[in-house]
Amino acid sequence: MSIKTYAVAIRDVIDQEMAKDSRVFVMGEDIAEQGGIFGCTRGLLDKYGKERIKNTPISEAGIVGLGVGAACAGMRPIVELMYMDFTFCAMDQIINQAAKTRYIFGGHGTVPLVIRGQQGVGRGNAATHSQSLEAIFMHFPGLKVAMPSTPAEAAGLLRTAIRDNNPVMFFEHKALYATKGEVPDDPEFAIPFGKADIKREGKDVTIVGTHLYVGKALQAAEILAKEGISCEVIDPRTIVPFDTETVVNSVKKTGRLVTVHEATKTLGFGTEVVAQVVEEAFPYLDAAPVRLGAKQCPLPFNLTLENAVVPQVEDIVAAVKKTLYL
């Protein structure tokens, strides 16, 4: 095991996979000499050259379109978008090309494309650079969606994504890049998609959180434990495919469910979790599930206002108590 930051864990896996497979290359804005705005490709230009670490023009439609074409031609491109907010500039390429090409050709063609970048709050980047957009891409068949919350998950899920023959939307979080954790040294370490991780076992309520909110859910669980309330915290790790079984089994044990994410509450990932639990485990619920998400407004530039829009640890604590009628 090595202690690494989330950003370094990502960089090291890209490095290892590029060394292993000459078809893997990276392209994006400012990823070469600068190494990306969060350092996730730092040092790779010197090692692999401009043929495999490619700076691109400021055109997300062009970048993703080139990635789709390269993937269809047998390469394994990693497309870095500076902000995942900019996926909106490339939606035709993502939704109508990357997601559908393998289906259109009856499975005979593959699209081994990773579209990765950061999203979320924490830096006061305001309304068009701080959104959490994962739920949009859940809706379209053909895309896989990963959301690592720790350095180890960033490493293990990214390796799986690079080796997958289908397009993967790989959502990182800007506030997690500097966080540190243990990462296995094994160059084959990979985390399978569709397998959630129970970060903390409990018996009174199930909390399902993503990205930054896995850590916040664990903080809330610590607070609640001091009051005798036992929370089970689940990190889905990938939301497509989603590990329904682990969540349903947890709810069958606890009888209660809270979902929490940074994206807007309306039609967010938590809504789908609640729907699946209600369909498969309704008789086991002892209280109505509670969803937490951002308020229905654009994200402010001011950090104090930003914090007022997205859920905080105290909101998770209150939500858990609501399911317990406290």
Residues labelled as active-site residues: 60, 129
DSSP 8-state symbol, 94:
I
Virtual torsion, Cα 305, 311, 314, 315, nearest 10 deg: 120
Paired residues of 257 in beta bridges: 206
Distance separating alpha carbons of residues 235 and 208, to the nearest angstrom: 6
The pair of structure tokens assigned to 241 is: 């495919």
The pair of structure tokens assigned to 310 is: 């997205």
Q: Which of 60, 59, 30 is nearest to 44 (CA)?
A: 30
Paired residues of 170 in beta bridges: 116, 146
Q: Which of 216, 133, 211, 230 is nearest to 172 (CA)?
A: 211
| Sequence-distant (≥ 6) Cβ neighbours of residue 80 within 8 angstroms | 26, 27, 28, 29, 31, 36, 40, 41, 116, 117
**154, 9 contact by CB (below 8 A):** yes
Place of tokens 């994962």: 134
**Chain centre distance of CA 146:** 4
**80, 31 contact by CB (below 8 A):** yes
